[in-house]
Amino acid sequence: MLRMLVHLDADLASSIALRYACQLSQLVDIKLHCVHVEEPDQDAHAPGTGWVRRTWENTVLKTGEFEIAQLIRAEKSSCPKLGAPKMLVGERENEILREIQRESYDLFVEGSLHSFAAKKLFDKIHSRLYRLIPCPVIIVKNLVNIEKVALIVRSEIESKNLISMFLKMFKDSKLKLDLIYCEFQEPGKLSINAKKDADGTLNAVEQMLAENQWPPENCFTIQGAPEEIGDELRDYGLLACPIHHTVSKKSNWFQLLSHIPSPILICWQ
């Protein structure tokens, strides 16, 4: 059984991410684990070792424990699989990374509310955690129903990774799947058509999916500015896409990811 780790803080983004993860765990055979990292004040240094340190850590944890417990309690009725969260003390990114490496999770989920400014997502993608994370990541920007998912593809080579990751996680689900190829152009000319892309990527990827007994329901090319395409894709419950850690902020590809209001599943290249 696959295992996913959901990072929780006492905020709206985490509340949305938790609800989304619960929904996902009911559609896919995946076990849900939660983690909260309590960061001590920047000036506070961890004292000593052994009993002294443990006592200090317990005191720090108490401050966040109550709010996280409330968050879990609120979701428990609709998500019986939800267990007690793991509570850690330390620097957020380091602790999460250590936890993922230690327990070999298959998927990491966290909430990050959809933002007009691309900087927030850009910083996240270039963070130490995301640079070193060994598994795919779902960034939950809004709470949506997962009825239909889509793969956004760019090239045949990248798509192989994307598809094997996607199939590993979702193959047994009965989700409707669409396959999308994006062509970027000036704003004001958004168009969607069933015709295949120029370099044949859609055809090739469609065939890969068909060979794995999961042919897409729809397969189309969407042309437009990143913000128009992002807006157009809002009806999907999850959009899976490949991304390089080196992606530039001004690239159309990154701008598209930033403008998608729905949750995105990032497959690292």
- Residue ranges in contact with other proteins by CB under 8 A: 11-12, 15, 113-117, 120, 142-143, 227, 231, 234, 261
Minimum CB distance to other proteins smaller for 15 or for 221: 15
Residues 256 and 158: their CA atoms lie apart, in Å, by: 17
Q: For residues 42 and 3, give the distance between their C-alpha atoms in angstroms, rounded to a whole number.
A: 32
* DSSP-derived 3-state class of residue 29: coil
Nearest to 177 by CA among 215, 144, 207: 215
What are 138's two structure tokens?
A: 């779902």
Q: In terms of CB distance, is 14 or 159 closer to other proteins?
A: 14
Min CB(103)–other proteins separation in Å: 29
Six token digits for residue 109: 């989920």
Rounded to a whole number of angstroms, the minimum distance from the CB of residue 117 to other proteins is 6
Which residues are CB-contacts of 93 (< 8 A; sequence separation ≥ 6)?
Answer: 127, 128, 129
Shortest distance, CB of residue 140 to other proteins, whole angstroms? 11
Burial 104-121 (b: 16+ CB within 10 A, else e): ebbbbbbbbebeeebeeb
Q: How far is the CB of 187 from other proteins (least distance, A)?
A: 8
Q: In terms of CB distance, is 39 or 227 closer to other proteins?
A: 227
Which of 51/116 has CB closer to other proteins? Answer: 116
Tell me the three state secondary structure of residue 141: coil
Tell me how far, at minimum, the Cβ of 188 lies from other proteins, in Å. Answer: 9
- CB 28 to other proteins: min, Å: 23
Q: Which one-letter DSSP state was computed for residue 194?
A: S
Look up tokens 């609800």; give the residue.
19
Distances (CA, A) of 17 to 11, 12, 81, 108, 140: 10, 9, 15, 11, 6
38's tokens = 């309590």
Complex with other proteins: residue 90 or 261, whichever CB lies closer = 261
85 vs 263, beta carbon nearer other proteins: 263
Tell me whether residue 63 or residue 115 sits nearer to other proteins (CB atom). 115
CB 74 to other proteins: min, Å: 11
